[in-house]
Structure 1
Amino acid sequence: MIHEVDESLRTLLRDDALEGAQIVVAFDAPTRDWAAKVNAPTVNLYLYDIREDTRRRERGLHNAYDEAGVVVARRRPPRYFKLSYLITAWTKRPEDEHRLLSSLLACLLRYEALPADRLTGSLAEIGVAVPMTIALPPPEDRSFADVWSALGGELKPSLDLVVSVPVTASPVYEAGPPVGEEGVRLGFSGIPPERPSEAEGTYRKTPDGRRLPVYGTRPGAPAAGIASRVAEGRGREERPE
């Protein structure tokens, strides 16, 4: 995923910003040792931070459909991760570096996301936009001076590029068969399908003549419901000791 973003950025900058000029596009850490070995005009995109873009996190599941439009599986929505690049230009003259940075800034400002025709691999297959921002203020928990201090190099003019890349690696849950036009058929187990007998003690008669089951009894079972148990209890109480 990260290497696919690297390749998309390399192609975008070479074609749109550098316009085929003989300028190297590198992704190395701009340390003192690396800078001492640079012997050609170079644009460096150093990936210095990777973290999740929690503002784009979604809940729930996404449906996957077959050719007939039936849901066959469900999966979690993609999670976006911010890839932060420190873009610098390296030439023999500061004026040339500034010109390169101007060209890069003008190019990246034209896009709010990586162009679809520049995406490769899995980024092109999922068909989801890959947003990016350029030269926004850094978060409060870090500064570009801290990055240069960690690299052990001298502070240089730079552009901060942040690419929010979707990651779709998640479990896939198979969906059950669709419900047909006949709907869902429900039933109760343990009760005979035939009409229950109106055994004495299991039914009570309502004023309108209907017979309703007595609470706590099962229609069709012997008269061993609440009424029979109450009657049995009364019989025990009336027996002389």
Structure 2
Amino acid sequence: MIHEVDAVLRGLIREEALSGADVEVVLDAPTREWAARRNTPTVNMYLYDLREDLRRRQQGTLTERDADGTATTRHAPPRYVRLSYLITAWTQRPEDEHQLLGAMLHRLLGCDRLPPERLVGSLAELGLPVPVSVAAPPPEDRGFAEVWTALGGELKPSLDVAVSAPLLVSPGTRVGPPVTEGMRLTMAERGDGDRARDELGHLVQGEPPARHITIRRRTQP
């Protein structure tokens, strides 16, 4: 799932935000040593944090259905994992870096979710929205300066992009086929004036003698 989000986000930046400009888009850690080796215009999208998005956790069971509306599989709701990227631009001039950051900010701020037509792999198969947050304040337990300190580099203008990706944690349980034949009705006599309930809980009452109806189902082999 992580590599699928990498691919979608990288393609979105390269092909739409940067309009196919001759700028490399990489996933490397932007350490001091990495920065010293860089010699071409580069956008770095560094995955610096990975944790469950608890706000999106759901309870219960989800049912998958086929084209006819028949239940086929039941499984637990997907869990959402929040992937946080530190996105920076690297060129020879700050002016060019700001231009690249501005182009990415303009495109990504228009996304409240990853474009469905760009989703690949399991993200496309699930068919669920993949929410995106851009340039939001950092989590209370972590600041961007701490990230740069951990990388051993100097503080640099950056975009924080967080993607909440759905992930199925279990394959689910197959549902048996619906009963289409083999239903049998039996009727038993009741005493005059009796009130009875059938096995479905329906009240049987009417002109005596009332009858108790039992329904038995036989599933197909």
1:37–1:75 Cα change, 3 Å: same
1:66-85 correspondence runs (5 A): 66-85=66-85
Which letter maps to 1:157?
P
Partner of 1:207: none
Write the distance in 1 (CA, Å) between the matches of 2:145 and 2:51: 19
Q: CA deviation at 1:167?
A: 0.4
Deviation at 1:121, TM superposition (A): 1.3
Whole-Å Cα distance in 1 between the matches of residues 97 and 63 of structure 2? 49
Q: CA RMSD of the aligned region, Å?
A: 2.2
Instruction: Please state which structure has a larger fraction of its residues in strand.
Output: 2
Q: Write out per-residue CA displacement over residues 52-91 of structure 1, whole angstroms, 9 at most, x where no aligned residue.
A: 0111111111112244432232111111000000000000
Q: Distance in 1 between matches of 2:5 and 2:184?
A: 48
Cα distance in 1 for partners of 2:183, 2:145 equals 65
Larger Rg: 1
Q: Give, in angstroms, the shift of residue 172 of structure 1.
A: 1.3
Identity between Structure 1 and Structure 2 (%): 59
Q: CA–CA distance in 1 between the matches of 2:162 and 2:10?
A: 15
The alpha carbon displacement at 1:176 in A equals 4.2
Q: Which residue of 2 aligns with 1:29?
A: 29
1:137-193 deviation line (CA, Å, top 9, x unaligned): 0111000011001000000001100000000231412334545698798xxxxxxxx
Please give the alpha-carbon distance, in whole angstroms, between the structure 1 residues aligned to 2:42 and 2:95.
14
Distance, in Å, in 2 between the alignment partners of 1:29 and 1:184 is: 69
TM normalised by structure 2 equals 0.79
SS in structure 2 of the partner of residue 145 of structure 1: helix
Partner in structure 1 of residue 114 of structure 2: 114
What 5-or-longer segments of structure 1 have no aligned partner? 186-209, 211-241
Alignment partners' CA distance in 1, 2:116 and 2:184: 45
Distance 1:146 1:134 in 2: 19
Tell which deviates more after alignment, 162-171 or 64-73: 64-73
- Count of residues paired in the alignment: 188
Q: TM-score, normalized by length of structure 1?
A: 0.73
Aligned pairs for 1:100-179 (under 5 A) are: 100-178=100-178
Q: Please tell me the residue identity of whatever aligns with 2:167.
A: V
**Residues 94-146 of structure 1 deviation map (CA, whole Å, 9 limit, x = unaligned):** 11111111011001011111111111111111111111010000111000011
Misfit runs of 4+, over 4 Å: 179-185
